[in-house]
Structure 1
Amino acid sequence: MTKLLYIQASPRKERSHAIAAADAFVAAYREKDPAVEVTVLNVFDEQLPDFGADAVSGRYKLGQGIEATPEEKAAWEKVLRVIEQFKAADKYVFAVPMWNFGIPYRLKQYVDLVAHPTHTFGYNENGYFGLVTGKPAFVAYSRGGEYPAGTPYENYDFQKRYFETFLGFVGFTDISSVVVEPTLGGGPEVAAERRKAAMEKAAEIARTF
């Protein structure tokens, strides 16, 4: 049975353009693989653990064979559970809106919980290498404005560039995506049109995912 982890990074739920496109992808994928096990994780609903002083100390002490305090162990174990859930999936879907030219802060928190050496990436004399390999990812992006490649506006896009850099860093090489834009800059009719087009494209990608 295929395990698909669907991570939503918007608190807007059904009003989110990114989630609408990602939902269309998941629905089409379910038609292709009715036995798929889909786990939906909205980072604004989840009680994500803090990666604070105890978790940091626990991570480094336990990684070096040094005795950690009960508080440090407990804090790091909460982070490990997030990492283990992430790595357990076979396929991944992400709904990622743009916030202030980047990704929502709760998704950044999730990235910081997941990205740890020896767990999702490693390094040697040749540099870094990802450990989450051989798994495809689909990302639905949305943003209020437009940031076309080759224009000065492209330089403001720290959303798609950052998130796909993260995915590549931890090992993903098969990454497909759709972008819903502009969701605000062109008015509601343009937003509805672009949303519909992205949903159709997402469903098409899902059929060969």
Structure 2
Amino acid sequence: MKLLHIDSSVLGPHSVSRQVSAAIVDRLKQATPSLDIVYRDLTQTPLAHLSGSHLAVAQGAPAPAELGPDLAAGATALDEFLAADIVVIGAPMYNFTIPSQLKAWIDRIVVAGKTFSYGANGPQGLAGGKRVILAISRGGYYGAGTPLAALEHLETYLRGVFGFIGVNPEFIIADGIQVGPEHREKALAGALEAAINLRAA
């Protein structure tokens, strides 16, 4: 069984989402010692954002020589995702949504003919056999019924985009980490406990 572990926070060891994603992977590794883990840190090996040249190549235009290494990197990212049985992603909220480096990765895995297709009845997800677990962190409180709920574009986006490719993602959430030290400690502790108690398979 293969697991793909993705981190996207720019905060390194100070990141809550990184701590929680690592705890999730540790929990799954303990339950399945033979788990084959591939790790990708999107801040250390970022993928380029899509350009007009990328889209032209996707439509059949010849690939410019200078785009070759980036197209190869994108193909590797897609292959890693397709090969994984489980995907664990650390995703902090930046300005109400996902980090741009995570968006660049998502743009390489949401690919027609690979993870979704269009048919007579509309789009159909092709990645439904995967388990995707998202460790998200938010500086404030953005849950349903809160004053800032309308600005929540992290969990809602990730739920939507993975749903589009056929995956029903799981979430472990640390909220209010910038409200104050005690809120951060409580949020992190709760998320780590949820990781420890995560369903193994």
Give distance in 2, aligned partners of 1:13 and 1:72.
Answer: 31
Structure 2 partner of 1:208:
200
Alignment of 1:22-171 (within 5 A): 22-61=21-60, 68-69=62-63, 71=65, 74=68, 76-171=71-166
Look up the SS of the partner of 1:85 in the other structure: helix
TM-score when normalising by structure 1: 0.88
- Kindly tell me the number of residue pairs found equivalent between the two proteins: 200
Matched, 1:11 2:13: no
Deviation readout 1:61-110 (Å, 9 max, x if unpaired): 16xxxxx2553883544432221121111111011000000000111111
Counting aligned pairs with the same residue, the percent is 28
Give distance in 1, aligned partners of 2:132 and 2:76.
Answer: 21
Look up the SS of the partner of 1:25 in the other structure: helix
Look up the SS of the partner of 1:40 in the other structure: strand
Give distance in 1, aligned partners of 2:63 and 2:173.
Answer: 46
TM-score when normalising by structure 2: 0.92
Structure 2 partner of 1:191:
184
CA 1:8 to 1:73, structure 2 compared with 1: closer, same or farther past 3 Å?
closer
The RMSD of aligned alpha carbons is: 1.8
Give distance in 1, aligned partners of 2:145 and 2:178.
Answer: 21
Matched, 1:177 2:176: no
Q: Which of the pair has more CA radius of gyration?
A: 1
Give distance in 2, aligned partners of 1:69 and 1:44.
Answer: 26
Give distance in 1, aligned partners of 2:67 and 2:45.
Answer: 21
Structure 2: give runs of 5+ residues left out of the alignment. Answer: none
Deviation readout 1:84-143 (Å, 9 max, x if unpaired): 121111111011000000000111111112212111111111111111121111111101
Give distance in 1, aligned partners of 2:41 and 2:120.
Answer: 37
Structure 2 partner of 1:65:
none
Give distance in 2, aligned partners of 1:32 and 1:158.
Answer: 32
